[in-house]
Chains A and B, each alone.
Chain A
Amino acid sequence: MLEPLIYELSTPGRPGHRFPDPDVPLADLPEGMIRQDLMLPELSELEVVRHFVRLSQLNHAIDTGFYPLGSCSMKYNPKVNEDAARLPGFAHSHPLQDPSTQQGSLAVMYSLQDWLKEVGGFAGISLQPAAGAHGELSGILMIRAYHRDRGQPQRNKILVPDSAHGTNPATTTMSGLRVVELPSDARGNVDLEALRAECDETLAGLMLTNPNTLGLFEERVQEVVRLVHDNGGLVYGDGANMNALLGVVRPGDLGFDVLHFNLHKTFSTPHGGGGPGAGPVGVRDLLVDYLPGPVAAELEPESEALPPLYGLVMPTKSIGRVKAFHGHFGMHVRAYAFIRSHGKPGMRAIAEHAVLNANYLLAGLRQSYRVPFDRRCMHEFVAEGRFEGVPEIHALDVSKRLMDYGFHPPTNYFPLIVREALMIEPTETESKPTLDAFIEAMKAIAEEAHSEPELLKGAPHGTPFGRLDEVQAAKQLVLCCRPAELERAAL
């Protein structure tokens, strides 16, 4: 224990934040409805600040060091975006205000929708979804609604490649549809024969991540899409890996019918220690009316005398709201600023440098680590964290040892189709010296795996915490603290 819990720092009677005294006459409190106890801590402001600053210092973050977590696009979060989202006109706007008093917010949303349409090659966007998985749910519900609307409710099968993120099958089940898993072929692509075999009258759609979770571009993506379309299905794109495609190819042009963007990956909004994200969905014409809503719309175009009038409208056959109000607006402002800073040439430069950085790492590590499906990668690649002659060393050990070199580990054990997977994604904002240092560290670890395997098994050594016992956490569930006062009362 390096920092006590907030409850352990509490002292009864310690004055905290002070609010003003009431400036109105006091009303009678409702009888029998007032709570007797409220177990909240009592601390001075300085104690609160020190507590959280000390806690923060126990974290690795993008702003403290390289964070090559595959599939997460841990790129730099520009500081001006933080300031922009906190402008009083944005931060202190109520979501139910009359649209005439929110033209600025609606203009931000409308422009962002427009730009995402352009980048994705889509006809419509909804900014409602709060995260990638939330966008997936929206997309699959739209596909379901589309088939039902066309009198084909029997189309209830969603195909999901075995390399897909676990949210894909979970989303399908949650939407009341059936999941069928598709194998990958020897080059890491969707197995076309297996796909063909599943193309029947129950086919609702296919969920495809492209580049896939191996960091590989689907070599026959147009054939895959055509096959699904020819058999009456729709194609859902998981946009987790859009960072490789910005300005390079538009998913809509490849035939994807619906795709979610991750503003927190591709468009630099901060990951926040795990949320809030934002997962807007883009769709081709045939699904525009089914978008979750409301969406921002231009009600009256710009005229010589007046700026355009923006409002919020519900698409005619909408699957409904997926959250209260209008999505994570604070994230929309940040993404707006990010796209604005890069513009048209910048979009392509992002993808180019993200892909260059990944291939550079791949070239530097190929000698020391086994790489399955070794092709030109896109913005990330998957290596294996296992070594000949030292079977006791696993990907997890490599990861933990990386911490001693000051790096955040890659994503472990995903995708499931690779043994001891280490999924590495550098992003475009990392410089060559950082990548070189990472390559050196990874090489040193590969050598240590043979020469001093116990160094890896016992890692990390130089961090404030050693390996945490996850088995004990699950076995003896302690999910909330029991303050000393409560324990005394219980005795």
Chain B
Amino acid sequence: MSYIPHTEAERRQMLAAVGVESMDELFADVPASVRFPDLDLPKPASELEIMEELQLLSEANLNTRQAACFLGAGAYNHYIPSVVDHILRRNEFYTAYTPYQPEISQGTLQAIFEYQSLMCFLTGMEVSNASHYDGATALAEAAILALNVHQGKRDKLVLSPAIHPQYREVVRTYLQGQSLEIVGDESLGSRPEEYLDERTSLVAVQYPDFFGNLHDYGSLVVAAHAVGALVCVVANPIALGLLQPPSEFGADVVVGDGQPLGIPLSFGGPTIGFFTTREQFVRKMAGRLVGETVDSRGQRGYVLTLTPREQHIRRGRATSNICTNQGLMALAVTAYLSAVGKHGLRQVAELCYHKAHYAAERIAAVEGYGLWNRGPFFHEFVIRCPIPPAELNQHLLDHDILGGYDLGPEYPELKGHMLLAVTELNHKEDIDDLADALREAAHA
């Protein structure tokens, strides 16, 4: 299948209009020695063949609609109301680009403005940008914001060990060119409070933390603010449907991954990174931003605003190189939150909470297993296992169950522990089957 519409006659007419004899002549500036390489690529295929090929490849995967999924660790299997994808598939949304021309882009602009509004109310913060690539890169941008707020005079960043390991990795990748000390996550027992000093620009924690635990970060915020450091909270947006927003305990920046809000797992991407903060930092915040205004006819409308912060104006002096957002994913989040509304989000959050607690109780009652979490948790929890989690997961696979995340490789202290996630898509029978399969595995 080709999407090139030209007829032979048109091609001839166009070449004549350009003043060349052949297509090849158009490329005279390209060095002849390397021009027109003989590419080793497959033959062109028809749509029918491509779809058959990809259908087969997709069926080589085990997916979370075939197996009961108890895997979370930063990507969550939630139900997406049908209406969300129908909205995403509107051609006018997904085949448009960045709304540089507001007169003919009000659909995208208003949707982003609504997204920003929804994220402000969900996190309790004052401003939201139009989004980042994912939760991990949003956290890295929070670290950069803190460095800029302190005008480069503070060179220390404190990360809680209970932040997603991949998020911490991304922060280190982003900041490897800056002379900076990133501390706090050397061992599981580290407490961010112990690292705070006058050099600290930012302390970051996760809520619920990577192990599902719920903490009140109020005293940490007080301690951080006492030394002039900012506090960033990485939050799960579904949890915020039930729990106090991080603004309540004084967070300066709240970021996270919006995937649970209407975006399919899709092997990890694309998702969306939300980024919210206090109004006082709006000019230091990277990323695209939509603001309200009026048009020449007096109608309320929306435009990209505060663009002087961005790299196409500031170039080498810009605070970040990000020049896009996750537009369509922001639309997914907006459509999802609009469809489920205030009651629906609370309902999903409660379902996750109750089912996770039922699962934790059932599994902890199985001989050889124990619940590691001591305090309150949301929809993820850690189970101490009698045999290595990798082996357990192989056994679970035989029962069409996708087991938990093996914590040992990232946290040596938690060797033999797995992190399980439960959502509204896990039925009581699935949970019972999981508990039975775990019993069977331990006594096999």
Contact = CB atoms under 8 A, between A and B. Distances in A.
Contacts of A69: 97, 100
A43 B338 contact: yes
A179 B177 CA distance: 14
Contact of B93 (A56, A322, A324, A341): A56
Contact of B59 (A89, A270, A325): A89
B268 A360 contact: no
Interface string B186-212: 000000000000000000000000000
Interface in B1-60: 1-6, 10-11, 13-15, 17-20, 23, 26-31, 34-37, 39-47, 50-51, 53-60
Contacts of A64: 91-92
Contacts of B120: 480
B380 interface: no
B170 A321 contact: yes
Nearest to A218: B29
A169 B314 CA distance: 9
A26 interface: yes
B103 interface: yes
Chain A contact residues: helix, strand, loop or mixed = loop
Contacts of A175: 177
A217 B28 CA distance: 10
B345 interface: yes
Most buried by A among B61, B91, B264: B61
A463 B103 contact: yes
Contacts of B442: none
Interface residues of B, number: 203
Contacts of A272: 93-94, 96, 326-329, 331
A94 B101 contact: no
B322 A19 contact: no
A17 B339 CA distance: 6
B55 A87 contact: yes
B39 A347 contact: yes
A326 B267 contact: yes
Contacts of A166: 310-315, 318, 323
Contact of A40 (B290, B341, B405): B341
A91 B50 contact: no
Given A92-B63, A217-B29, A141 B104 contact: no
Interface in A290-342: 292, 319-331, 333, 336-337, 339-342
Contact of B136 (A72, A89, A323, A430): A323
B92 A57 contact: yes
Contact of B135 (A75, A324, A481): A324
Interface in B285-325: 288-297, 299-303, 305-306, 310-318, 320-325
Contact of A94 (B71, B118, B122): B71
A460 interface: yes
Given A51-B338, A63-B91, A92 B178 contact: no
Nearest to B427: A23
A105 B269 CA distance: 12
A373 interface: no
